Structure 1
Amino acid sequence: MSQTYRPILGAALKLAGIRQHRDWLLEKQRDLELQDFHTAETLEGDWRPLVEETRKLLDGHTGRLGLHGPFWGFKLDSHDPAIRAIVTRRLLQGLDACAALGATQMVIHSPYTAWDYNNLDNSRHGRDELLERTHQTLRDAVTRAAESGVVLVIENIEDRDPHARVALAASFNSPAVKVSIDTGHAHYAHGSLAAPPVDYYVHAAGDALNHVHLQDADGYADRHWNPGEGTIRWQAVFAALSRLGSNPRLILEVRDATTLRKGTAFLEQLGLAE
């Protein structure tokens, strides 16, 4: 892409946020990530009325639609096969919601921890065993996603090595598994765990990158501030994004969704996005 790369930003929102920002979303048909369908309480309950309400509210929206998949209370690489079975069930429930909503992407969380960075090579087979456990958890979900046209994107959480998650996604050898980057998580890892800066995560992902959570932070905690309120070097991040051919969804994910247009305005003023 050229230096005039100015992508249109999307947002991660719950139903109340969609109501507030509906005109803004439809104005440029922005990508949207739904965040009402990831808790166990929702997935175990009757979420069909919520789907119907969401679909009605999004009438006329033609941007790309995704949702944040389940993540609370588990890891993808659990050693316990009974826990892995529950995780698989949750992921399949998330994909059921994708099908009902017409979503084509679901965010899931990386299994890699800060502890893993220092300890996976402490045994001969640590990395391979983590991959195998993750494959056992995700196998059915990847098959379902591929059949239904959904891409699972693996988001960095504590990932100190930006390449490990990219290799994990590639190990499935499936177009249904790609990479996500959360800029605030990467900045936390950079500031607190001596990981590389955020733009290095973009370079590591390359064209496997399908999704980005845009949020600012201070390098100490997971702040989910609007871009411009923290210390991320946004020019470097967008320069790295401009070199990609994968057209990732660029999703503002801020703690106070009522203020998210401040982040858009900041990036517009820098000439980076709109």
Structure 2
Amino acid sequence: MPVSAELATFSDRLFVAAAGIYALAMIFHAVEFSAARAKVPVLVGAGAPDGAPEEGPVRSRPERFGRMAVAVTVLGAALQLASIATRGIAAERWPLGNMYEFISAISVAAVGTWLVVLRRSPAARSAGPFVLFPVLVLMALAGSVLYVPAGPVVPPLRSYWMSIHVSTICISSGLLVVAGVASLLFLLRRSGRLDGLAEKLPEADALDRLAYRITIVAFPLFTFAIITGAIWAEAAWGRFWGWDPKETVAFVSWVIYAAYLHARATAGWRTGRAAWVNVAGFATIVFNLFFINMVVAGLHSYAGVG
């Protein structure tokens, strides 16, 4: 397959620009978070001269930084989506054929999830630095040690199932990143430790509900991804399931998330214990993403750095 070097280079530059913009957004979020308890000055018309128009609330400087953080994050997500699209056009294939592309897609899915959360619950904005930090870590790894130049993929990946299975895995994994961070913050908020930090986070109940609602959306997508992966495995390798390391850990993740949803709906488990189960599921997602893809040999080894 021909590769447009100029377009591939442009895609890489968009990726770097998106990472830089996310870093700026995280700084803006951190400024707002550091002054989360600052009082917001309010100007009211009661003390204004007769005939003067009443003025609404004046946003504090931290709040302005928070709003700028959201706007900058939207710009970063747009640039990252453009990076993924131009890489696919440059290589003339679906742009999810290696770890660099896979992590880029997971990152933008996590950022997109976070923007939807903020649209529905602006009060969650104080968690912004903690959501963007793992995204930046993922992008730093993808752009350095996991980077692969745009090019054709190995024969097992030349299937329309890649666009279905891998895309669904990326979207569900991005959702679960945000859910995992929410559960971790819930446990921190509820623990009573680091009071100066924890008290600036969203309320514990809000974080718990956020993790639960995101997981409810992510779990069916993750289930669908496992099913389509099995169908693809039958077409490529002649069997639906072979307990390959990646398949096994994905199944373990599925069981843990199913247990979390069950535990979250069970009286007596709706507090810290269910959140720990969700964190365990998040840990298996990270383990599968890095250790299984990069260290353990198996039928999915082609999904590694090469």
TM over 0.5: no
Structure (1 or 2) with the greater helix fraction: 2
Q: Give the TM-score normalised by the residue count of structure 1.
A: 0.29
Q: Give the TM-score normalised by the residue count of structure 2.
A: 0.26
> For the pair shown, which has the larger CA radius of gyration, 1 or 2?
2
Structure (1 or 2) with the greater strand fraction: 1
